[in-house]
Amino acid sequence: MAGRIAADAGSAPQPRSGESTASPASVLATEIKQLVATGERDQARERFGALVALLQRRALRVAFQYLRNPADADEAVQDAFIKVFLHIEQYREDLPFDVWFTRILVNASLDRMKARARHQRLVAPVADDQDDRSVYQAPAAEPSSERRLLARERWAQVSREVAALPDRQRLVFTLSHVDEQTPGEIAAATGMSPATVRVHLFRALRRLRGVLRDQA
Amino acid sequence: MTSRDDSDARLTTALEAYRAAAHAEADGYFDDRALEAQRQRILARLESLGHRARVLPFPGAAVPARPGLAHSRRWISAAAAAGLLIGLVTGELLHIMPGDNWVHREPARLAQPAASRMAIVPAVATATGEDDALLDAIDAAVARYGSTDLRAFNDLTFGNEP
- Determine contact, residues A174/A62, Cβ cutoff 8 Å: yes
**A51-94 confidence digits (pLDDT tens):** 999 999 999 999 998 888 999 999 999 999 999 999 999 998 88
By C-alpha distance, the chain B residue nearest A212 is: B14
Determine the 3-state secondary structure of B43 from DSSP: helix
Task: Indicate whether this model's pTM tops 0.80.
Answer: no
What share of chain A has pLDDT > 70, as a percent?
75
Q: Read off the pLDDT of residues B101-140 as tens digits, 9 standing for 90 and up.
A: 554 555 545 555 554 455 454 554 555 677 888 888 877 8
**Residue of chain A whose Cα is closest to the Cα of B46:** A82
**A and B: number of Cβ contacts within 8 A:** 99
Q: Any idea where the domains of chain B sit in the sequence?
A: 8-49, 75-111, 112-162
* Gap between the Cα atoms of B101 and B95, Å rounded: 10
A86–B30 C-beta distance less than 8 A: no
Class for domain A133-216, per CATH? mainly alpha
Query: What pLDDT, in 10s, does the model give residues A82-138?
Result: 999 999 999 988 888 998 999 999 999 999 988 888 877 776 555 444 444 444 344
CA distance A162 to chain B (A): 10
Selecting from B18, B20, B45 the residue whose C-beta is nearest the C-beta of A78 gives B45
State the Cα–Cα distance between residues A105 and A99, nearest whole angstrom.
10
Domain ranges of chain A: 15-126, 133-216
- A137 and B28 within 8 Å at the Cβ level: the answer is yes
C-beta of residue A70 within 8 angstroms of C-beta of residue A44: no
* Whole-number percent of chain B with pLDDT over 70: 56
Give the one of A82, A177, A205 whose C-beta lies nearest to B19's C-beta: A177
- Provide the pLDDT confidence category of residue B93 given band limits of 50, 70 and 90: confident
How many Å apart are CA A31 and CA B26, to the nearest integer? 30
Q: In the predicted model, is pLDDT for residue B3 greater than 90?
A: no
* B29 has a chain A CB within 8 A of its CB: yes
Given B18, B27, B29, which is nearest A177 (Cβ)?
B18
> At A32, which helix (H) or strand (E)?
helix A24-37
- Chain A residues in contact with B41 (beta carbon < 8 A): 78
Which residues of A fall within a CB distance of 8 Å from B18?
158, 177, 212, 215
- Cβ atoms of A105 and A77 within 8 Å: the answer is yes
Contact A52 B27 (CB under 8 A): no
Assign domain A15-126 one CATH number from 1.10.10.350, 1.10.1740.10, 3.30.565.10, 1.10.357.20. Answer: 1.10.1740.10
